[in-house]
C-alpha cells in the first residue's frame, strides 16, 4: 500500500508584500539625509550671522557718525589781586574724561579741561572747557545727549595756604538718555587746581 505524500507549497511573498507601500523603504538613509539637510541649514544660518556681526564690527563706529556729537562750553575767571608781572606766572593744562562703557565699549563720554596759572600764592586765572559726545556704538543702541549743567566754579583756601583762591574748584554734570529704555545717565566731573600747580580730579556715574 503506497503512502500518499502531500506536498505543501510555501506561498510566494512578493517584494511589495514584504515592504508595504505605506511604510518607508529605507528609513536609515532618509533620516541621514534629513540630518545632513538640517546641518547644512545651520551652517548657512551661522555663516549669515557671522557675516552680519563682521559688518557691524567694521562699520558701526562710523555708520552712525551723523548721530554723534561734539560740543563745547567754557568759563574763564580772573583774580583781581593779580600782580603786574603775572604774565610770567607758570601755567598748566589738565583734563579729566569720563567714559560710559558698561560692556567695554564706550557709548558716550564727558570731558572737562582746565588751564590755570599761579604765582605760588594764589591761582591767578583759569579757563575751563567741557565737551561731550555719543559714539557710533552708543548711537547704534539709541543713546542721546540731553543737556549739561553750567560749569560751577568756586575759590577755596588750599592746603598749606591762608589765602582765598589759593585753590580753584570746578564741576559740571552731563545727562544722556536711552531712547529705547528711557534710562538716563548722569556723568559728573570735579576738578581742583591750586597755587602750587597741582591738579586733582574725580568723576562719577549714576543711571536711573
pTM score, whole prediction: 0.65
Asked if 181 and 167 touch (Cβ cutoff 8 Å), the reply is: no
**Computed from CA positions of residues 17, 23, 25, 28, in that sequence, does the dihedral angle turn out positive or negative?**
negative
Res. 20: pLDDT tops 50: no
- The C-alpha atoms of residue 191 and residue 110 are separated, in whole angstroms, by 13
- The C-alpha atoms of residue 101 and residue 99 are separated, in whole angstroms, by 6
Res. 127: pLDDT tops 90: yes
Highest mean pLDDT among 5-19, 61-75, 150-164: 150-164
Nearest alpha-carbon partner for 110 in 193, 171, 180, 199? 171
How far is residue 97 CA from its own chain's centroid?
A: 15
Asked if 128 and 112 touch (Cβ cutoff 8 Å), the reply is: yes
Q: What is the pLDDT of residue 77?
A: 58
Q: What is the pLDDT of residue 191?
A: 98
Amino acid at each position: 500500500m503506497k503512502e500518499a505524500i502531500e506536498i505543501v507549497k510555501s506561498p510566494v511573498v512578493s517584494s511589495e508584500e514584504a515592504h508595504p507601500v505605506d511604510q518607508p523603504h529605507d528609513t536609515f538613509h532618509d533620516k541621514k539625509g534629513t540630518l545632513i539637510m538640517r546641518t547644512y541649514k545651520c551652517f548657512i544660518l551661522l555663516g549669515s550671522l557671522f557675516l552680519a556681526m563682521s559688518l557691524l564690527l567694521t562699520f558701526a563706529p562710523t555708520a552712525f557718525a551723523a548721530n554723534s556729537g561734539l560740543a563745547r562750553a567754557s568759563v574763564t575767571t580772573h583774580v583781581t589781586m593779580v600782580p603786574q608781572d603775572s604774565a610770567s606766572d607758570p601755567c598748566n593744562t589738565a583734563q579729566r574724561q569720563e567714559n560710559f562703557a558698561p560692556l567695554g565699549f564706550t557709548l558716550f563720554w564727558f570731558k572737562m579741561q582746565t588751564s590755570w596759572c599761579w604765582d605760588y600764592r594764589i591761582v591767578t586765572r583759569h579757563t575751563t572747557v567741557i565737551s561731550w559726545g555719543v559714539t557710533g556704538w552708543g548711537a547704534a543702541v539709541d543713546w542721546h545727549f540731553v543737556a549739561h549743567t553750567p560749569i560751577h566754579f568756586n575759590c577755596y583756601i588750599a592746603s598749606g595756604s591762608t589765602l582765598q583762591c589759593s585753590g580753584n574748584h570746578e564741576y559740571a554734570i552731563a545727562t544722556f538718555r536711552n531712547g529705547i529704555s528711557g534710562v538716563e545717565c548722569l556723568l559728573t566731573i570735579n576738578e581742583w587746581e591750586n597755587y602750587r600747580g597741582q591738579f586733582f580730579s574725580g568723576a562719577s556715574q549714576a543711571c536711573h
